[in-house]
Amino acid sequence: MIGTWRNIPLSLSDKGEDVICAPLVRELGQDDDFAYRSLWQDAMQQHAQYFRIAAGDDVPAAIPTRGANDSFTLGAFEKNVLVGIVSLERDRGLKLRHKALLFRMFVAPEAAGRGLGRSLLQAVLSRAQEIDNLRSVHLTVLERNHRARALYRSLGFVDFALEPDAVHMDTDYVAEVQMMRFLER
């Protein structure tokens, strides 16, 4: 599905004026690597308070799922600019292949509040439904990221575990919430 585009409207005026352009949500490929790296590095450097990993961790900034049939990274574009990302990767263990991990979810602050996060998550869940024998999607989110947690809950994710003091940030310890959602089969 690389190169397949989906228009997902954010909002439309019934009077035909002040129409907000719909973002394009599609799977990212090799040609998107530079834009992905740039957006992810901005997320790590400017918005580290929302992530369990840090810019200094040994985590590649490249698209994390390239080349996997049952794992993918989607991007949301506004005016040909990548402004949102999310990845999904199926577990590789033989006894765990019914689960997938949703990770690296980020929408640039200048694009936040317009439904891009919801559009990305809906697209991920739609694609996940198409993966044979995949039963559930899991994620982790910092407890203090109330906006993200509310978005995940609105799309059917539920909390199933809380790890107190899971992440050390400067002088503070932050709890981490594990969430999951069963796919409709």
Q: How many CA atoms lie within 13 A of 98 on its CB side?
A: 7
Q: How confident is the model at residue 20 (pLDDT cuts 50, 70, 90)?
A: low
In a domain, 145, yes or no: no
| Number of other residues whose CB lies within 10 A of the CB of residue 107 | 25
What is the pTM for the complete model shown? 0.86
In a domain, 130, yes or no: yes
In a domain, 87, yes or no: yes
Tally of domains within the chain: 1
Residue 23 pLDDT: 75
In a domain, 115, yes or no: yes
In a domain, 157, yes or no: no
**pLDDT digit string (tens) for 72-130?**
999 999 999 999 999 999 999 999 999 999 999 999 999 999 999 999 999 999 999 99
CATH number at residue 26: 3.40.630.30
**pLDDT digit string (tens) for 148-163?**
999 999 999 999 999 9
In a domain, 183, yes or no: no
Q: Which domain holds residue 57?
A: 5-134
Strand stretches in 8-50, DSSP E: 24-27
Residue 134 pLDDT: 97
For helices 146-154 and 116-129, what crossing angle results, to 10°?
A: 40
- Give me the chain's average pLDDT, please: 88
What are the phi and psi torsion angles at 136 (to 5°)? Answer: -150, 155
Residue 8 pLDDT: 40
In a domain, 34, yes or no: yes
CA distances from 68 to 56, 72, 84, 89 (A): 26, 7, 20, 8
In a domain, 165, yes or no: no
Single-letter residue type at 41: Q
Average pLDDT, stretch 157-185?
95
